[in-house]
């Protein structure tokens, strides 16, 4: 049975004090009883990456970066590289989130370069893909998403592909203006993702307006191996609740 991945990106939130308090609470729960069958991960802003990684060291919770450049170093003012985030404690790098594609000019090509850079330095690439509303409305979600994954993994060998985690996050479902997807909205995409990539990548996650109310039914969608959560997991109780739901889900049914 695969483990269930449950993670959160804090996006552009949380001071050092807030990051510390969340991470300490999470570490305490991890040391107390852990989460059987579940792999938690937390992606703080780069300012608190080192702090969070130190607090969660040895807890079993993976820590990641929200972005990293494809070059290892150089004159790229304002950017951080994979070696720099690894040095700060990241074991995973989020790549291609729709907000970066929309607001920061991320393209399929830069996403591909960043996936390669993450793998080159031993990080897990968390590859985010998802279709905009108009593509969903005309029934083009599956082709759009498969093309994004294909483009991001072009040129990778089988061993490299097996380290990639794909997070399917429909753009229309993400953030405060998003609407939660119904299982039937996304099951076709997961069916095809699993058929094309299921045995090639490490896991297929779902993200977009996941909360404690819909987490269990989302985990029941065939081929969903975990959840990538934003707002609902920005408080420690919110994240713990979803972790507990994933533990219960794993105890009753294995993911496919």
Give yes or no: 103 in active site.
Answer: no
Q: What is the largest CA-CA distance in the chain?
A: 51
Distance in angstroms (rounded) separating the CA atoms of residues 203 and 4: 9
Annotation says 73 is catalytic: no
Q: Which two tokens stand for residue 39?
A: 């792999």
Site residues for ligand PEP, 193-252, by CB under 6 A, read 207-210, 228-232
Place of tokens 């307006």: 209
Please answer whether residues 79 and 69 qualify as being in contact, where contact means their C-beta atoms are separated by less than 8 angstroms.
yes
Least distance to ligand PEP, CB of residue 124, Å = 16
Distance CA 220, CA 245 (A): 11
Q: Could you say which residues in the range 5-24 bind ligand PEP, by CB under 6 A?
A: 9
Nearer CB in complex with ligand PEP: 45/208: 208
> Among the options 121, 169, 223, 249, which is catalytic?
169
Selected range binding ligand PEP among 49-57, 66-74, 171-179, 246-254, rule: CB under 6 A: 171-179
When CB distances to ligand PEP are compared, the closest residue is 230
Residue 244 · residue 236 · CB < 8 Å: no
By CB under 6 A, residue 178 contacts ligand PEP: yes
Near ligand PEP in 95-134, by CB under 6 A: 97
In the bound state with ligand PEP, the residue whose beta carbon lies nearer, of 70 and 168, is 168
Phi and psi for 123 in degrees, rounded to 5?
-95, 155
CB of 36 to ligand PEP, least distance (A): 24
Chain Cα centroid distance, residue 8: 7
Shortest Cβ 97–ligand PEP spacing (Å): 6
Q: Which helix (H) or strand (E) holds 250?
A: helix 236-252
Catalytic residue among 97, 121, 223, 249: 97
CA distances from 33 to 27, 28, 146, 192, 240 (A): 10, 9, 38, 36, 12
Region 78-97 residues binding ligand PEP, contact defined as CB under 6 A: 97
The secondary structure of 146-185 as a DSSP string is: HHHHHHHHTT--HHHHTT-EEEE--GGGSSTT--PPPHHH
With CB under 6 A as the contact rule, the residue among 55, 95, 153, 169 that binds ligand PEP is 169
Q: Which residue number, 63 or 232, has a Cβ lying nearer to ligand PEP?
A: 232
CB of 243 to ligand PEP, least distance (A): 15
As given in the structure block, the two tokens for residue 146 are 């498969």
| In the complex, least distance from residue 233 CB atom to ligand PEP, rounded to whole angstroms | 8
Q: Footprint of ligand PEP on this chain (CB under 6 A)?
A: 9, 97, 169, 174-175, 178, 207-210, 228-232
Supply the residues annotated as catalytic: 97, 169
């Amino acid at each position: 049975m695969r483990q269930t991945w449950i993670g959160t990106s804090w996006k552009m939130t949380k001071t050092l004090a807030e990051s510390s308090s969340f991470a300490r609470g999470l570490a305490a729960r991890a040391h107390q009883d852990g989460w059987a069958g579940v792999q938690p991960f937390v992606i703080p802003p780069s300012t608190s990456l080192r702090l969070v990684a130190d607090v969660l060291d040895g807890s079993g919770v993976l820590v990641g970066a929200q972005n990293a450049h494809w070059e290892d170093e150089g004159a790229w003012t304002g950017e951080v590289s994979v070696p720099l985030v690894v040095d700060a404690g990241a074991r995973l790098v989020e790549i291609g989130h729709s907000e970066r594609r929309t607001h920061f000019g991320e393209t399929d090509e830069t996403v591909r370069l960043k996936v390669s850079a993450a793998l080159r330095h031993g990080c897990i690439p968390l590859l985010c893909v998802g279709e905009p509303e108009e593509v969903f409305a005309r029934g083009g979600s599956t082709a759009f998403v498969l093309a994004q994954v294909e483009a991001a993994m072009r040129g990778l060998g089988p061993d490299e592909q097996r380290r990639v985690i794909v997070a399917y996050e429909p753009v229309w479902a993400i953030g405060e203006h998003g609407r939660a997807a119904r299982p039937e909205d996304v099951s076709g995409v997961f069916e095809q993702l699993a058929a094309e990539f299921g045995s090639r990548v490490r896991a297929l996650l779902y993200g977009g307006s996941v909360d404690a109310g819909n987490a269990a039914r989302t985990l029941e969608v065939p081929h969903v191996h975990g959840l990538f959560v934003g707002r609902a997991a920005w408080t420690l109780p919110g994240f713990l609740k979803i972790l507990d739901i994933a533990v219960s889900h794993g105890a009753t049914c294995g993911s496919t």
